[in-house]
Structure 1
């Protein structure tokens, strides 16, 4: 019986990087195309909880990009916005209900696209899912960029690549194109066939060039296959 490798998230390194970006966020924001809300402790805590949930999904072998698995995509959005506190979720009850309605209308296109692209590289699939979720009509009412980065990380790590994690070095190359994507519409022919494809290509290269192995950890599992 041999061993085989799988990868999970290095949550301690992810936390350290997010806190590093937080400390330098004022300088970074001066070069952004559009100002964003500060990367406060609440946002970081919820994002870390989202990464931990991705780690759990990887361990359980969940396939997110099916109708059954897509409930976990919705949960990731709830986590980045509300965290894990049930009291907070009760306070945001109407918002959550409207988010679920929006999600039910948009997830089908992303699942269909992903099914067609299953043979493509994880970088291309991660970039495509991110761009489709962030562009109009957005998949969620809020938190599309953060949820999209978590979905990209799931795709990447499941294929043995490092997750996408915000760093001081990649922040502007991530934030500025993401701002532009937000104003493109995937139901408009020119936007989908030119602009969004261009951004998918951009983020494919961005991921290929900037992913950092320190954000993943390798685990060895027993190979259960019997040999004759």
Structure 2
């Protein structure tokens, strides 16, 4: 019998890809619909810490999309913005408090949507969560795109697919639609039933077409070795 396969994140390959985007960011930004904050070392370090946190969540078999598990979604946002340094978090205490209040108002819709779509493909679920988070009203005060990329990666890898990782090849196809999504409102009927559904379809196809197996690693559970 074949061994049961589980996958985790290849953090070294992810780091190399983000650094590659950083080196090419000036050129890429010339074709972006909106000026974006450059990928400086702090942003990359925090993103890598976020990917490592996702990796641990997968190791611990945490279900993020439950009321209890959703605390980890909030933590992912704290990580992409502040990293793991408690001193930095203390400095941003008021911002973190407001973020938690905003999160508590918005997470219910995403959890309900995800529960309804659990039977759909990982690509569709990852795309839907991303679009719902980034569209208005956004789930967090800041860092929605980065947190959304981490949530998409969690959904994909949990299903055996490679995580979503920014590359210089997929950057524009990711950034430009994300900019447009930011200005659509999920509580407006036309936006939700037409525009956001189109973006969900787009990102589901994008995630599938740009998946890269170098960003995942195979692990064999101990009980599979018996």
After TM superposition, is the score higher than 0.5? yes
Contact 1:2 1:223 in 2 (8 A): no
Question: Normalising to structure 1: TM-score of the pair?
Answer: 0.97
| Cα distance between partner residues in 2 of 1:128 and 1:70 | 16
- Give the Å deviation of 1:2: 7.1
Alignment of 1:141-160 (within 5 A): 141-160=141-160
When residues 168 and 2 of structure 1 are mapped into structure 2, their CA distance, relative to the original with a 3 A threshold, is closer
Question: Normalising to structure 2: TM-score of the pair?
Answer: 0.98
Q: State how many pairs are aligned.
A: 225
Contact 1:4 1:223 in 2 (8 A): no
Write the deviation string for residues 30-81 of structure 1: whole angstroms up to 9, x where unpaired: 0000010110000000000000000000000000000000000000000000
| Cα distance between partner residues in 2 of 1:12 and 1:222 | 24
| Cα distance between partner residues in 1 of 2:68 and 2:83 | 22
Question: Cα RMSD between the aligned structures?
Answer: 1.2
- Give the Å deviation of 1:223: 3.9
Write the deviation string for residues 120-159 of structure 1: whole angstroms up to 9, x where unpaired: 0000000000000000000000000000000000000000
Task: For structure 2, list consecutive stretches of 5 or more residues without a partner in the other structure.
Answer: none
Contact 1:181 1:196 in 2 (8 A): yes
Secondary structure of the structure 2 residue equivalent to 1:165: coil
Moved over 6 A (4+): none
| Cα distance between partner residues in 1 of 2:2 and 2:138 | 45
| Cα distance between partner residues in 2 of 1:195 and 1:32 | 20
Partner of 1:45: 45
Secondary structure of the structure 2 residue equivalent to 1:160: coil
| Cα distance between partner residues in 2 of 1:38 and 1:55 | 25
Report whether the alignment pairs 1:212 with 2:212. Answer: yes
